[in-house]
Chain A
Amino acid sequence: MSTPPPRKAATFDWTTAFIAVLVLVSGTTVYLRDGWPRVLEILGHDFLLFVGIMPSLLAGCLLAAFVALLLPRETVRRWIGAESGITGIFIGAAAGVILPGGPFTIYPVAATLAVMGADIGAIVAFITSWSLLGYSRALVWELPFFGVHFVGWRILLSLPLPILAGLMVRPLANLLAKRFR
């Protein structure tokens, strides 16, 4: 990423610590239940999986870094901000797919859009499509674990969801606005 956030600077956060404890506990349980041979068997399998992950992980990291540097973020911002209606929802959804980066880049952009008066449907479509279809997470995290078949189908099935969320949030927002007026 071009602008690394301070929070991600630490290599070992509580998430990693939490799952490390989980691994220790489950690993110990397997050892106590089935003994060393089973532990080593699982470790061997995991090691192969880990080695297989490396090429796509490296490619995913490089891809995200290139797009972050090359994509004119201002332009994207203008597109979603200026448009509204169903077009805005579609543009928001598309931008969520394209725009690289983690929550620390997405939410500030979304918040800016909201302040600029962008349509709530477009904003929700944007966040939803980033969550469900964002390629950085899919490439770096999901693909290595689940494989191409599962991830491909999950993404295909998720394609209409950002549009749906964008369409559904508008009546919801109107309802709320009326209630509290």
Chain B
Amino acid sequence: MTIFVIGFLWLLVAVLAAVAARQGRSVLKGAIKGGLVEFMRLIPRIAIGVLGSGFIAEIMPEKWVATWLGPESGLAGIAIATLAGGLTPGGPMIGFAVGIAALKAGAASPQVVAYSTAWALFALHRALLYEIPLMPARIVWLRMTASVPLPFIAAYMAMLVGKP
């Protein structure tokens, strides 16, 4: 499954490279250079994130995670996960490292879905650094209010479907 997705990814890259090449060599070169620079920039962060998920999972108190976020935790677990997701400081590296660590330590996947969704919607760090400075305040608060039910909906649908 993973191999197919990666294959498809590279197929997409090849198609877009062909489109870019038709627009000129400089477009193709510029895109490849931009992508490579981004890749090099991300490698150290990813390395730290991977290490983080391994060690943090190892020291996460499994009993707590299982009680608070495990399959039996239900609505309370989803609420805790949502709150934790919104309050997680920092970028995707921290959000995903904590999410996968919780999953490894015995959290149920609907709760982790709620965590990831809440993190994507409310992440404190992104709101403070980008959204509040760049957007009209009224829209920020309206968007956040309208988004409060979303992690719960996602988690409940995950429970209904029985996946992931």
On A, residues with C-beta under 8 Å from B are 1-2, 4, 8, 11-12, 14-16, 18-20, 22-23, 26-27, 29-30, 33, 38, 42-43, 45-46, 49-50, 53, 55-70, 103-104, 107-108, 110-111, 114, 120, 123-124, 127-128, 131-132, 137, 139-150, 152-154, 157-158, 161, 164-165, 168-169, 172-173, 176
Which of A59, A111, A158 makes the CB contact (< 8 A) with B6?
A: A59
Q: Assess whether A30 is in contact with B58, with CB atoms less than 8 Å apart.
A: yes
Give Cα A137 to B93, complex, Å. 10
Q: Assess whether A11 is in contact with B44, with CB atoms less than 8 Å apart.
A: yes
Which of B6, B41, B96 makes the CB contact (< 8 A) with A145?
A: B96
Give Cα A144 to B50, complex, Å. 9
Q: Assess whether A111 is in contact with B147, with CB atoms less than 8 Å apart.
A: no
Q: Assess whether A69 is in contact with B45, with CB atoms less than 8 Å apart.
A: no
23 A–B pairs (Cβ distance < 8 Å), ordered by A: A15-B91, A23-B48, A26-B52, A53-B50, A62-B31, A63-B9, A63-B13, A65-B35, A67-B16, A68-B31, A104-B130, A111-B134, A114-B139, A123-B143, A131-B121, A141-B96, A145-B49, A147-B2, A154-B158, A157-B158, A161-B117, A165-B150, A169-B143
Q: Assess whether B125 is in contact with A154, with CB atoms less than 8 Å apart.
A: no
Q: Does B120 contact A (CB under 8 A)?
A: yes
Q: Assess whether A49 is in contact with B93, with CB atoms less than 8 Å apart.
A: no
Using Cβ atoms and an 8 Å threshold, which residues of chain B touch A55? 6, 10
Q: Assess whether B146 is in contact with A137, with CB atoms less than 8 Å apart.
A: no
Q: Assess whether B139 is in contact with A124, with CB atoms less than 8 Å apart.
A: yes
Q: Assess whether B1 is in contact with A148, with CB atoms less than 8 Å apart.
A: yes
Q: Assess whether B6 is in contact with A131, with CB atoms less than 8 Å apart.
A: no
1/0 contact trace for B35-71 toward A, CB 8 Å? 1111101111111111111111011000000000000
Q: Assess whether B56 is in contact with A132, with CB atoms less than 8 Å apart.
A: no
B11 to chain A, nearest CB (A): 9
Using Cβ atoms and an 8 Å threshold, which residues of chain A touch B49? 19, 141, 145
